[in-house]
Amino acid sequence: MTSPLILLAEAPQSAPVTDWAARLGWVAGLLVFVAFVYWLMRQGWKWRGTLQGDLPELPSTPDDPGEPRLRLSGRYHGSTTAGQWLDRIVARGLGIRSRVELTLTDQGLDVVRPGAADFFVPAAQLREARLDKGIAGKVLTEGGLLVVTWAHGDKLIDSGFRSDRAADHTAWADALNQLIHTTEGAR
């Protein structure tokens, strides 16, 4: 009779071998799937821009915008249809997130975005400024976002900004609302 130790030594088994062809097939399939999902998202973005094609050109900064009341450096988080914080507007470059330099003057709000289209919101088209917690794809703590509502063509638009210094938001909302009420009184 043979001992079990001898049987183990007599029947060595090799370690399982990786099936590289199957593994590479799965990786290639996953990459194709990810590329397809990205392509679908890009097509959806383009389609949304086509649907919003009736949005007029964004106003540019006047030659003499006036004396600055306030300045802000921070981030532009996008624009939505007013009151509908998930309905992102992508036409005319309004859907592109970027750094931003805001300047408030008596004539309006100058929005300078490196790498994206700059625009100017005349004081007569400003409607409201408030502190909020979110706008299309960006949710922050309560009051972490300065949302400016403005009229453009026949649409009311909410644009979201976040200052590098969050303490600036309240002063900006107050100054914008004061300018709006002053402008409304002059109409």
For residue 48 the two structure tokens come to 């949304």
pLDDT for position 141: 79
pLDDT for position 17: 72
| 45-97 residue pLDDT tens | 889 888 888 888 998 888 888 899 999 999 999 999 998 888 889 888 898 89
In this predicted model, which residue has the larger pLDDT, 106 or 18?
106
Q: What is the mean pLDDT of residues 123-134?
A: 93
Distance in angstroms (rounded) separating the CA atoms of residues 84 and 82: 6
Distance in angstroms (rounded) separating the CA atoms of residues 28 and 114: 37
β-strand pairing of 108-112 with 98-105? antiparallel
Question: Which of 168, 160, 173 is CA-nearest to residue 111?
Answer: 160
Question: Which of 111, 110, 114, 126 is CA-nearest to residue 158?
Answer: 126
